[in-house]
Amino acid sequence: MTDTLENLCRDLPNFLVQRSDFQYEKKIGGGSFGDVYLAKYIPTGQMTAVKELKHETLEEPFLQYFLREIRILAKCDNYFLLHFTGYTATHPFLIVTEYIQNGSLFDSLHDQTKSLDGTQKTIIALGIACGMARLHSFNIMHRDLKSLNILLDESYFPRICDFGASRIKSAESELVTQNIGTVHWMAPEMFDSTNYTLAVDVYAYAILLWELLAEEIPYNGYSVPQIMRTVCMNDQRLTIPQGTPPNLAKLIQLCWNRDPEKRPPFDRIFKIFKSHKVSFPGCVDSKVDEALASIEAKAAQLQSHGIVISGIPTNISGVPNSQNQPSFDTESLYRIVTSGDSNQIEQHIKQLTPETCSFYFDCVFKCISQQNPTNITVPALIGILKLIVMNQDCLTEFVKRNLQNSLPFDKDEHVKLSLSILLPIFEISPKVVTTELVQKLEPFIPKFGFKICRLISVFCSNFTEVGDPWKVSDILILKAGEFIQAGASIPLMETLFGLLSRYDFFREARLQNCIPIYLNRMMSNIPDEIITSYNCLNGLQVPQLDVDPLIMATHLDNANISKFAIQFLAKNPIKRVNPMLIEAISLSQFPIQAIQALCRCAMISPKDVLDKSSLWLANPKFAPDLQLTCLMTITLKEDLRKIVATNPNMVSFLNSCLSGNPSNDVLSSLSTLMRVIPFDSQTVMKLGETGFLKNYIKLVTAANNMVVYSNCFLMIDYLCRISFLIDSLDFAPTALQLMKVPELQKYAIYYLLLLSSFEVAAASLKKLNTMSVVDSIQLTPDVKKLAEDLRHNLFF
């Protein structure tokens, strides 16, 4: 073991760290191999995820896992691969990576409080393809690519992680361990072969794309043998959701092709997404481009901290590293800038360094000040954008000279590029941005609302650290209509939500100004805007919102929106309901949220909810305990109890509550509900004829629970006082046994006393030697008096 660790230290000395370098804050995960902690890396102040192994010494196979994961992490020089901080070679054995705060892609897809839009999904798919292309360039296969192993950073950009199952594929096609990875994402060849290729990751990527579309667990409910039979023997795949763009569906089908050779490589997949030939529904291409520019800036920032970011030949994956300083004079540079030749400018800026980039900046601003045409100024400005994105030191030089305040806004072409240049400045150097600069952007909201909203969002993310932020945040509210007209509704709502949820003082001051914006977009005809509105309002938990019931009913009937609408209704009390809304809720495909929503509606208009009970009582997807909760809410109104009692579906509903294996809570709730409903004798007799009471007593006896027993006694007492049911005698043997339980004595004696008043029941109680049993038990004084009344009924 020592030799192997010594080799690792010799190969990767720059990544060696000490346990004392980290300040542990809290445990955030763990498993059989080790625990994971959130910790500050003291030398840089960076928050990291520290995996601390439980082993004092590393022996096979754990040594192999440890060494393999470190060697692979050390190669992860792509933005979309989890960034490696370091390791220790002595106990305690640590593997340290960057900390990603938003959890896994799996969490975001299956957490009903979150929602990824089409643009975010496209960026995630693009990023995974880029990261995997880099991994495959080293001949490394991941072998466990799945949504659980994709982390999302603060901007919801992906990071591929968990390389414990990864393996470097040798040129000699060494045999690979069979059946590694989670079966739901595994390629067919992994089930029955040990000689598979990098293409297994492409298959897993297809399942990931399907997850992003369907937002469901692949092969959910299938056992391992069922998955093997479906994928391998039947050569069947998951059903691609209706409405999937044809190009995206075609890509998925290519990626999960049975023949590994026909699956496209990741570098080709990346280029397909980057060129906008494939995207998810609702994706805005310009937002993807902006995200890529933002990632370029972040990559440059990482490099400035000593993290090299490289990969396939694109700006987001590599940072040029000039070996030679450029030699030029300002006159020749100005000629290049004013040539309008994009290729010549591109070649030249690649040679610039932080020490010489200022010459380029000066030439560009001189070119603009001399009123040159846009075919000259635009390529020059693009050069600035590329320069500050590729090299953060150049960006630092740019803001050091306050050039952001001199950017041109005289022409649309200039405005568009100036806004793009400001984005990495806002993100990396927010403190240099002034309120005056942001206010300067107001006139351009109608044409460039999306970009400006993104800039304000970044500015406001440092709300407590910038001067006079209220003037900037109020632009979002006062100019909301212009942002909406400019197609920036979603970033507008998300930015306001971030402020409202992060800062209590902002919520207190501006919540009432923001609510109309969300309600306005809820009535939009753009699904992504409606969904964002619902998600934000869900997160804000605003009481008594006045939302149009007809609008919500329409949303509940829309397959793309219904999930978000029902979540909103389940969580938020609203002011108005109507029969159409109740009907839409009753037919919902999301039973738990639907019943919660019905209960909230019942607090507002119980009559409307009750009038539609034939729908929600008959819906097999609604669990009985949830239906009972709704009925109990309705029966809080005394004037509605008679209507409940005469409901033609009531007897069949009560019987359905006993099907399956009802919980103790259901058994008790049934008793509580029935005892407030004024049944007539005909309904009670019908309950007896359908076997309700017989089944109920059988289930109560099996439950053997004190609370359930007491509720059973009370139910029988209530029903038999309306109309005697012979099945009530089924509980007599249990009642005699429960006489021995002091807490239940009074319940039991009242039950026996009631039955003894019916001639047929009294005869049965005599056969059970009821009084002999009662006399053998020590009774409380008040029960003794009732026992004498029972004796009188049985013998006279």
Kindly report the CATH number assigned to the domain that includes residue 276. Answer: 1.10.510.10
What average pLDDT does this structure show over 326-341?
75
Asked if the model's pLDDT at residue 133 lies above 80, the reply is yes
Give tens-digit pLDDT for 689-727. 999 999 999 999 999 999 999 999 999 999 999 999 999
SS (H, E, C) 284-324: CHHHHHHHHHHHHHHHHHHHHCCCCCCCCCCHHHCCCCCCC
Determine the pLDDT at residue 112: 59
Asked if the model's pLDDT at residue 195 lies above 80, the reply is no
Pure H helices in 542-663: 549-556, 562-571, 579-586, 591-604, 606-611, 613-616, 624-634, 641-645, 650-656
Determine the pLDDT at residue 636: 85
**609 Cβ contact partners less than 8 Å away, ≥ 6 residues apart:** 577, 582, 598, 601, 602, 630, 634
Give tens-digit pLDDT for 32-45. 677 889 999 888 88
Asked if the model's pLDDT at residue 324 lies above 60, the reply is no
User: In angstroms, what CA-CA distances link 515 with 520, 542, 548?
Assistant: 9, 9, 14
Tally of structural domains, the chain = 6
Question: Do 486 and 358 sit in the same domain of this protein?
Answer: no
Highest mean pLDDT among 397-401, 614-618, 704-708: 704-708
Residue with tokens 């009903």: 112
Q: For 228-242, 266-280, 575-589, 700-714, which range has the lowest pLDDT when averaged over its residues? A: 228-242
Could you tell me which of 289, 290, 291, 300 has the C-alpha nearest to residue 429? 300
Question: Do 146 and 258 sit in the same domain of this protein?
Answer: yes
Q: Is 756 exposed, middle or buried (0-12, 13-18, 19+ CB in 10 A)?
A: buried
Asked if the model's pLDDT at residue 745 lies above 90, the reply is yes
Q: For 422-436, 495-509, 742-756, which range has the lowest pLDDT when averaged over its residues? A: 422-436
Greater model confidence, 306 or 253:
253
Cα separation of 119 and 454, whole Å?
14
Determine the pLDDT at residue 298: 64
Quick check: is 318 in a domain? no
Greater model confidence, 340 or 734:
734
Give tens-digit pLDDT for 598-607. 888 888 888 8
Q: Which two tokens stand for residue 660?
A: 């399956």
Dihedral, CA of residue 623, residue 625, residue 631 and residue 637, to nearest 10: -150
Could you tell me which of 39, 50, 162 has the C-alpha nearest to residue 104? 162
Determine the pLDDT at residue 312: 36
Asked if the model's pLDDT at residue 174 lies above 60, the reply is no
Could you tell me which of 342, 774, 658 has the C-alpha nearest to residue 765? 774
What average pLDDT does this structure show over 87-92?
90
Place 431 in a pLDDT band, splitting at 50, 70 and 90. confident
Greater model confidence, 503 or 621:
503
Asked if the model's pLDDT at residue 264 lies above 90, the reply is yes
Q: Which two tokens stand for residue 394?
A: 């150049």
**Is 790 within 8 Å of 752 (Cβ atoms)?**
yes
Could you tell me which of 227, 99, 81, 226 has the C-alpha nearest to residue 154? 99
**Is 520 within 8 Å of 484 (Cβ atoms)?**
yes
Question: Do 511 and 558 sit in the same domain of this protein?
Answer: no
Quick check: is 157 in a domain? yes
Give tens-digit pLDDT for 520-539. 999 999 998 999 999 999 88
Quick check: is 454 in a domain? yes
Highest mean pLDDT among 431-440, 467-476, 509-518, 588-597: 509-518
Place 356 in a pLDDT band, splitting at 50, 70 and 90. confident
Q: For 330-334, 393-397, 438-442, 578-582, which range has the lowest pLDDT when averaged over its residues? A: 330-334
Answer with the one of 621, 639, 657 that is the final residue of a domain: 657
User: Helix 285-304 crosses helix 392-400 at what angle (to 10 degrees)?
Assistant: 90
pTM: 0.52
What average pLDDT does this structure show over 443-450?
92
Question: Do 369 and 241 sit in the same domain of this protein?
Answer: no
Place 1 in a pLDDT band, splitting at 50, 70 and 90. very low
What average pLDDT does this structure show over 402-412?
91
Q: For 343-347, 495-499, 781-785, which range has the lowest pLDDT when averaged over its residues? A: 343-347
Quick check: is 339 in a domain? yes
Determine the pLDDT at residue 117: 92
Asked if the model's pLDDT at residue 317 lies above 80, the reply is no
Question: Do 139 and 199 sit in the same domain of this protein?
Answer: yes
Give percent of the chain above pLDDT 70.
91
Quick check: is 174 in a domain? yes
Quick check: is 313 in a domain? no
Greater model confidence, 169 or 438:
438
What average pLDDT does this structure show over 7-27?
88
Cα separation of 46 and 436, whole Å?
32
Q: Residue 570: give the domain boundaries.
A: 543-657
Asked if the model's pLDDT at residue 62 lies above 50, the reply is yes
Determine the pLDDT at residue 173: 34
Question: Do 354 and 273 sit in the same domain of this protein?
Answer: no
Place 305 in a pLDDT band, splitting at 50, 70 and 90. very low
Answer with the one of 657, 675, 704 that is the final residue of a domain: 657
Question: Do 195 and 287 sit in the same domain of this protein?
Answer: yes
Place 67 in a pLDDT band, splitting at 50, 70 and 90. confident
Determine the pLDDT at residue 796: 66
Please give the mean pLDDT across all residues of the chain. 85
Determine the pLDDT at residue 164: 56
Answer with the one of 43, 71, 98 that is the final residue of a domain: 98
The secondary structure element, H or E, covering residue 522 is: helix 504-522
Greater model confidence, 245 or 306:
245
Question: Do 352 and 380 sit in the same domain of this protein?
Answer: yes
Highest mean pLDDT among 204-208, 459-463, 621-625: 204-208
Asked if the model's pLDDT at residue 161 lies above 60, the reply is yes
Quick check: is 636 in a domain? yes
What average pLDDT does this structure show over 329-343?
83
Cα separation of 416 and 449, whole Å?
11
Known binder of ligand: residue 262? no
Question: Do 113 and 142 sit in the same domain of this protein?
Answer: yes
Question: Do 203 and 272 sit in the same domain of this protein?
Answer: yes
Question: Do 271 and 347 sit in the same domain of this protein?
Answer: no
Quick check: is 320 in a domain? no
Give tens-digit pLDDT for 471-518. 889 999 999 999 999 999 999 999 999 999 889 999 999 999 999 999
Question: Do 113 and 234 sit in the same domain of this protein?
Answer: yes
